[in-house]
Amino acid sequence: MGALHDGHLSLLSAARQSAGFVAMTLFVNPLQFGEATDLAAYPRDLARDLDLAEHAGADAVFTPTVREMYPVGRPETRIVPGRLATMLEGESRPGHLEGVAVVVTKLFALAGSCVAFFGEKDYQQLVIVRRLVADLDLPVEVAGCPIVRDHDGVALSSRNRRLSAEERGAAVVLSRALAAGRLALEKGHAPREAEGVMADVLAAEPLVQRDYAVVRDAETLEPVTGTSSRGAAATRAGGANGVPPSRSRLRLLVAARIGPVRLIDNMAAA
């Protein structure tokens, strides 16, 4: 959605290494915003973005207007990602993930057969896009790319530029919480206990208002249950025979508000 940073540019770099032609879309999609003030405040600098995209390897940049993308206004046809869109970001930002699904489906229809590169920072979005492609048999291969972080561990985000210096300093607590939760899992603690560890780390930063801090199945984003910290069976929701998922099947996710900005981050458990 523009306001490009090194995280976005890393997607172009990954695409450049594996594709003969690299196209990028820059479009602030109004369907993804629940609040008009949030949409209005979203940073935009098209000239800068085009220059960065060109130097990062984009062969073409598609920059449609809202009228070009939605010529008859808000579309009546809905792309509903199901349960995946009702949890986490879907619960906190109603309609957001449906808006993502609509615009991504339209862009895939325009692009045709392709490889699409998405960053893992919006992990729930990545999971939904993969499921959308599979469910609708779209001729698209979805490639997930690692989160790019600043020197202090803060995940790069276009929203970071709206933080004050003090708020930016506080934002590091999100990645610290994730690291603490992952360490708890590595030590044998149950997912619920790791969630408590993450919540405690976030609570120690007075500028941060936690939305969620959870451990979920990496493929389905379903909750992972279990009460024992060392050796007792933790059961993935919907799993069979009470077999606990390996750490490689787990994803830690956090969301919090810092000043005027809501930030998200996530980390693999192993």
Instruction: List residues with catalytic annotation.
Output: 8
Beta strand spans in the chain (E)? 23-25, 60-62, 114-119, 140-145, 208-217, 224-225, 235-236, 250-258, 261-268
CA angle 89, 103, 251 (to 5 degrees): 35
Q: How many C-beta neighbours within 10 Å does residue 196 have?
A: 15
CA-based nearest residue to 39, from 52, 51, 30, 50: 30
Q: Which helix (H) or strand (E) holds 145?
A: strand 140-145
Query: Distance from CA of residue 214 to its chain's centroid?
Result: 14
